[in-house]
């Protein structure tokens, strides 16, 4: 397995002039001829400007494709991050709106799969209650939407000592159900979004249904990210023996909101394969070696050792 550090999307020419980065870029370009599938895990700084956000994400997707990626992962809020509830609602669209149409066209043009990690989708009773779903959309290389997962666990958290105060349920509807893992060119991908990372029941359900890769596109706060981001992602990878790919928001979105960054790729042993850092947009490219995945599960057959569901519920009966 070959992995490399974060490539900064807007600084390729500058980086190419530095010996260390020049060597990494040369190695990354070599990925395009690799027999192993390549995933690009992206890091962006979304603002309320939807068109500027699309332009930045489009550049990352194009660069990822040039470097051999078969699937590109964008974070929660890739479409925008509003500065207020009212602004977030005013910018929302349906799955048939302009934003998703732009991404389906991009996927079709570049012949690349996309994980769009948290789209502000107008809810089913939009005209009545003006509420959203936080939706994770998978688009195939033909530009077709093949799966939509709506975030199940909403971030309603007050941490005054950490300066964190967010109530996602004020305008977001919790998703009604999980969706089955999606077969993609890089492997079978199980879908979550951000706060879902804290609920191991979700990842276990994905693993039981054949997931080889878990993905948690996110916009973690700086305080919670510094404390929990990496350790949670590595835990989900280790306990499920899956790859974990987590695209992330980074930096200052507007005066009221900042994100932790550190878009991460983790292997089934819990090793961090790539980290985009906490300062700038960019991407990490990673080869997905499913033979390593199979070897770890074969040599440490945790899933075979798991007892039936009744065993773990036995305490509830006492």
Active site residues: 76, 151, 194
Neighbouring residues of 310: CB distance < 8 A, sequence distance ≥ 6: none
User: Residue 33's pLDDT band (boundaries 50, 70, 90)?
Assistant: low
pLDDT tens-digit series, residues 53-102: 999 999 999 999 999 999 999 999 999 999 998 999 999 999 999 999 99
Under 8 Å between Cβ of 284 and 40: yes
Between strands 71-74 and 113-122, the pairing is parallel
The larger pLDDT score, comparing residue 294 to residue 170, is at 294
Percent of the chain with pLDDT over 90: 75
Domain ranges of the chain: 12-317
> From CA 3, how far away is CA 305, in angstroms rounded?
31
pLDDT score for 309: 84
Domain 12-317: give its CATH superfamily: Carbon-nitrogen hydrolase (3.60.110.10)
pLDDT score for 169: 86
> pTM for this structure?
0.89
> From CA 154, how far away is CA 152, in angstroms rounded?
6
User: Residue 34's pLDDT band (boundaries 50, 70, 90)?
Assistant: low
Q: Which long-range contacts (CB under 8 A, 24 or more apart) does 292-296 make?
A: 292/1, 292/267, 292/268, 293/187, 293/212, 293/241, 293/242, 293/243, 293/268, 296/241, 296/268, 296/269
Cα–Cα nearest to 41, from 297, 203, 277: 277
Collapsing DSSP states into helix, strand and coil, what is residue 146?
A: strand
pLDDT score for 318: 66
Place of tokens 């939706």: 135
Percent of the chain with pLDDT over 70: 89
Between strands 248-254 and 243-246, the pairing is unpaired
Average pLDDT over the chain, rounded to whole?
A: 89
Collapsing DSSP states into helix, strand and coil, what is residue 49?
A: coil
């Amino acid at each position: 397995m070959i992995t490399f550090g974060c490539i900064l999307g807007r600084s390729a020419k500058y980086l190419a002039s530095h010996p260390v980065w020049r060597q990494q870029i040369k190695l990354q370009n070599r990925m395009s001829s690799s027999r192993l599938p390549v995933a690009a895990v992206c890091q962006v700084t979304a603002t309320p400007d939807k068109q500027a956000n699309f332009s930045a994400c489009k550049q990352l997707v194009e660069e990822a494709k040039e470097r051999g990626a078969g699937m590109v992962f964008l974070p929660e809020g890739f479409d925008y991050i509003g500065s207020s509830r009212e602004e977030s609602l005013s910018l929302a669209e349906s799955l048939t709106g302009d934003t998703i149409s732009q991404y389906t066209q991009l996927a079709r043009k570049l012949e690349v799969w996309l994980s769009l990690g948290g789209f502000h989708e107008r809810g089913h009773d939009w005209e009545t209650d003006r509420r959203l779903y936080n939706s994770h959309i998978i688009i195939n290389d033909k530009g077709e939407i093949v799966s939509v997962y709506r975030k199940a666990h909403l971030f309603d958290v007050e941490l005054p000592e950490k300066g964190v105060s967010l109530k996602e349920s004020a305008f977001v509807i919790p998703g009604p159900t999980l969706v089955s893992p999606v077969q993609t060119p890089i492997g079978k991908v199980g879908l979550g979004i951000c706060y879902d990372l804290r609920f191991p029941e979700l990842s276990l359900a994905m693993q039981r249904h054949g997931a080889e890769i878990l993905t948690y596109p996110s916009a973690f706060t700086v305080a919670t990210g510094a404390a929990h981001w990496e350790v949670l992602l590595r835990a989900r990878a280790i306990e499920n023996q899956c790859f974990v790919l987590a695209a992330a928001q980074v930096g200052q979105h507007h005066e009221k909101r900042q994100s932790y960054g550190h878009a991460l790729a983790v292997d089934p042993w819990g090793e961090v394969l790539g980290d985009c850092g906490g300062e700038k947009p960019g991407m990490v490219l990673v080869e997905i070696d499913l033979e390593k995945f199979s070897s770890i599960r074969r040599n440490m057959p945790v899933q075979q050792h798991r007892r039936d569901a009744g065993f773990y519920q036995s305490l509830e009966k006492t």
